[in-house]
Amino acid sequence: MTGTLFSLAHGATEVLLVRHADAAPSLAPGVDGTVEHKIYRDLPLSEEGRRQARALATRLAHSAITTIYSSPVRRAGETAKVISRATRRAITYDERLREVEIGGLDRPRHPAEFGPHLDRLAELAIAHGGWSQVPGSEESASIRARMRATIDEIAQTHPGKRIVVVTHAGTINAYLADVLDMPSDFFFPAANTSVNVVRLHDGKRLLIGLNDVAHLHTGYRSKSTRLG
């Protein structure tokens, strides 16, 4: 029970923070027989990611969603579009919902490099509680401030409503760490298309769901420790 303060009927806003679906790059060669180096920000959803997004969209289709907000990064935007089609709700893109800015992450890479590199970044973040060990990365205070301001603004705009926010593993971790007053900016492996639920009302925030992937098939092996 969330009590009267956090009841939607009494003006609280429920925010479903959703990590985007999988966007593992293809190793298929191009027309010239070579594999193109790519930038992670520009990767589309993989076939697996599209299946994940459809499973989540089916789950949310009858969840009384009012609207959808999304990071403009391609993998998040494509996830949001699948949800939008199922729920018949519009998408608002907000640059503040982009992933944590990590030094060197968005340089062109061979597709085979992405998985190991993202795994190393996630392990580093969990070990050190954040991104301070990676030169050129966004500072903790900046990440938390932009996410707090964005989610607060969304909640104030939609009192008494349920909202979907499609974003990234790093930003979800940092925001929920701020809700829980935790020092670490990365404390759990957010799975692709996981649903994390927060209710906000009268300046207060309550976490009521974490890393929920009930919509995915039994036996699915998640790449959840990877940043994104």
The pLDDT tens digits of the residues spanning 137-165 come to 899 999 999 999 999 999 999 999 999 99
Local confidence band at 11 (pLDDT 50, 70, 90 cut-offs): very high
- The distance of Cα 183 from the centroid of its chain, to the nearest Å, equals 20
pLDDT above 90 for 213: yes
Residue 216's pLDDT is what?
Answer: 94
Residue type, 33: G
Q: Which residues contact 175 (CB under 8 A, 6 or more apart)?
A: 17, 144, 147, 148, 151
DSSP-assigned letter for residue 34? S
Reported pTM: 0.88
For the chain, list the domains and their CATH numbers: 8-212 (3.40.50.1240)
Average pLDDT over residues 57-62: 95
Q: Which residues of 59-71 are buried (b: 16+ CB within 10 A; e: fewer)?
A: bbeeeebbbbbbb
Local confidence band at 81 (pLDDT 50, 70, 90 cut-offs): very high
CB 224 within 8 A of CB 49: no
Q: Residue 82 has which token pair?
A: 């699948």
DSSP-assigned letter for residue 171? H
129-188-59 Cα angle (round to 5): 150
Q: Residue 176 has which token pair?
A: 């929920």
Residue 119's pLDDT is what?
Answer: 78
CB 42 within 8 A of CB 72: no
Long-range contacts of range 111-119, CB-CB < 8 Å, 24 or more positions apart?
Answer: 111/25, 111/26, 111/27, 111/35, 111/38, 112/27, 114/24, 114/25, 114/40, 114/43, 115/24, 115/223, 115/226, 118/40, 118/226, 118/227, 118/228, 119/225, 119/226
